[in-house]
Amino acid sequence: MIIVTGGAGFIGSNIVADICCDLNNKVIVCDEFDTSTKWKNLSNKVIEDIVFPEQLTGFLQSFGKDVSTIIHMGAVSSTTVIDSKLAIDTNFKLSKYLWQWSATRNIPFFYASSAATYGNGENGFTDDNDIQKYQSLKPLNLYGWSKHLFDLWVLNQVLDSRPAPLRWAGLKFFNVYGQNEYHKGDMQSLIAKNYIKVINGETVKLFKSYKTDYADGEQLRDFIYVNDCVSVVNWLLSGNQPSGIYNVGTGTARTFHDLIKCLGSAIGKEPVIEFIDMPTEIQQNYQYFTQAETENILKAGYDKPFTSLEDGVDNYVKKYLITNHHYR
């Protein structure tokens, strides 16, 4: 029995969809189901049970002997979150509990970290698991810091030879886009937010640049298709891969201008772009460049090519966004 926390969310529901392809797998989804539409992410999945976050510790106490793996994707994932207690309780304290529980049960534990832990990138994007290098990172927001806090805690556990799960991995996801992100509101990718505008010939708005090194729309991100994230998780589930923290990005930074051009190409329409002022409250904490270093995961044995931006956007648009089958 596999538990997927955040299993109704964006990345989590895509992982659940893949696991459920094998009907021999019994999947427990732990997530909140509020007034959002993320329940639709699970609408055609065979799930053993749904556990609400406040029920998780009791569930593990009662049925823990049947749990074979924990995939911990659940988090407060908004980069604009300001509730420190909520972020710490969810992204740090719960993660610690699940790590320690997995260590006690001697089962694998895989969790979502984030590229937001790297801050503005001034100290690089190296995932070589060197705790001293990690301590030099300066996340730009509460979300990134709460994820970074757990990464450091994990590395310290390992450094001190304290009990650890049978196998473990922290996944530093970069800028993920793809199916099942529709419930995320303003946190959706620019693809999901703008494909109808491009179809209708409306203007797509991108932020102006406030650094002379970057022209408007030329800010760079490592955009990764959610299918690749699922592929990495499947790789971890498939054998005895080395434990560690891994970047999950393509290793190639692309501009926001590129992203919108790929969207237009997939739709078959030239996008109309307007550059607008960036809100003052995010100017100081805005990342102008992210690019995953992928040597660590490649050395560990992951050998599946990452999807190009052109192919990923094309697949997302044609298979999901402009069809009646939005959900995986």
CA angle (147 as vertex; 77, 76 as ends), nearest 5: 25
**CA atoms of 302 and 235, how far apart (whole Å):** 7
Q: Are 191 and 254 in contact (CB under 8 A)?
A: no
Strands 220-221, 254-255: pairing kind: antiparallel
Q: How far apart, in Å, are the Cα atoms of 189 and each of 142, 194, 229, 238, 313? A: 20, 9, 15, 29, 11
Residue type, 207: F
**Residues near 5 by beta carbon (within 8 Å), at least 6 away in sequence:** 12, 30, 31, 53, 56, 70, 71, 72, 73, 74, 98
Q: Could you write out the DSSP letters of every residue in 32-44? A: ---SSSGGGGGTT
Q: How far apart, in Å, are the Cα atoms of 302 and each of 116, 233, 251, 278, 295? A: 23, 10, 14, 38, 10
Q: How far apart, in Å, are the Cα atoms of 115 and each of 109, 151, 176, 246? A: 19, 12, 10, 10
Q: How far apart, in Å, are the Cα atoms of 196 and each of 59, 246, 269, 294? A: 42, 35, 11, 34
- Structure tokens belonging to residue 19: 């696991």
**CA atoms of 303 and 145, how far apart (whole Å):** 30
Helix or strand (DSSP H, E) at 11 = helix 10-19
- The catalytic site residues sit at 143, 184
Q: How far apart, in Å, are the Cα atoms of 92 and each of 53, 142, 256? A: 14, 12, 31
Helix or strand (DSSP H, E) at 204 = strand 203-207
